[in-house]
Amino acid sequence: DSGVTQTPKHLITATGQRVTLRCSPRSGDLSVYWYQQSLDQGLQFLIQYYNGEERAKGNILERFSAQQFPDLHSELNLSSLELGDSALYFCASSVDPGLANKEQFFGPGTRLTVL
Amino acid sequence: AQRVTQPEKLLSVFKGAPVELKCNYSYSGSPELFWYVQYSRQRLQLLLRHISRESIKGFTADLNKGETSFHLKKPFAQEEDSAMYYCALSSLNFGNEKLTFGTGTRLTIIP
């Protein structure tokens, strides 16, 4: 599959714990975006990386952090988890956000459940 | 601040009837508008963008800057159009490419 991949598909953990979500962008895409989708809310932008550097930040909590590695995969770290962090976390990638074509390609998502 | 509003959470339309999914936005700069769609058990994917002025799967959307709207339309609904539709906005400026999504509209086509 040459599309965006995310692991794991599902994650169940307890409050106070820390988890890491992983995303591999499409081959050739330099930009990675993270979104959170909670119940009753649309997709909320968390953070964007471009070629290893942070490009834009949204409503990302201080308990959350992310990075993009030299091979362009990205990880989203969520710590001190709370019940309200239960959500679908999507990763998306795009070729070069500076171009007119800004299509973002989405992964299947990781469903996080905090008990 | 960027904001996208989709007033209808649910919309049911008979097969063959016209479809219109509403989207309004607020943004102080030059926006780029998109419609993304998620079919059952599939990934979120781009349906169309205003800059391309294209028709995809019979859907069209016109950017109305005066009314700050980007409604999605199709003259004759088909059963395979049943899906979740999200309107999204991005800046045209380099360095600010995040997508701001609406809360989505679930479209159900009644056979």
- State yes or no: pLDDT of A74 exceeds 70: yes
% of chain A beyond a pLDDT of 90: 77
Among the partner-chain residues B43, B44, B96, the one whose CB lies closest to the CB of A56 is B96
Place of tokens 């989709």: B6
- Residue B69 token pair: 């709207």
* A55/B95 touch (CB, cutoff 8 Å), yes or no: yes
Question: Which of B29, B53, B47 minimizes the C-alpha distance to A104?
Answer: B47
Question: Which of B18, B88, B32, B99 minimizes the C-alpha distance to A33?
Answer: B99
Position B56 scores a pLDDT of 86
Position B9 scores a pLDDT of 94
- The answer to whether A58 contacts chain B (CB < 8 Å) is yes
Give A89 to chain B, closest Cα distance, Å: 12
3-state percent breakdown (helix, strand, coil) of chain A, nearest 5: 5, 50, 45
Q: How many helices (H) and strands (E) does chain B have?
A: 0, 11
Position B94 scores a pLDDT of 62
Residues in chain B closer than 8 A to A40 (CB atoms) = 103
Q: Are A5 and A68 in contact (CB under 8 A)?
A: no
Q: How many other CB atoms are there within 10 angstroms of residue B27's CB atom?
A: 18
Question: Which of A51, A53, A92 minimizes the C-alpha distance to A72?
Answer: A51
Residues in chain B closer than 8 A to A103 (CB atoms) = 46, 49
- Residue A20 token pair: 């890491």
Question: Taking residues A70-78, what's their average pLDDT?
Answer: 97
Dump pLDDT digits (tens) for A31-56. 999 999 987 777 899 999 999 999 88
- Residue B40 token pair: 């059952």
- State yes or no: pLDDT of B91 exceeds 90: no
- The answer to whether A54 contacts chain B (CB < 8 Å) is no
Position B1 scores a pLDDT of 77
Least confident interval from A2-16, A94-108, B5-19: A94-108
Dump pLDDT digits (tens) for B50-84. 877 788 899 999 899 899 999 999 999 999 999 99
- State yes or no: pLDDT of A99 exceeds 70: no
- The answer to whether B56 contacts chain A (CB < 8 Å) is no
- State yes or no: pLDDT of B12 exceeds 80: yes
Position A34 scores a pLDDT of 96
* B97/A56 touch (CB, cutoff 8 Å), yes or no: yes
Q: Is B79 left (phi over 0), alpha (psi -120 to 50) or beta?
A: alpha
Q: Are B85 and B65 in contact (CB under 8 A)?
A: no
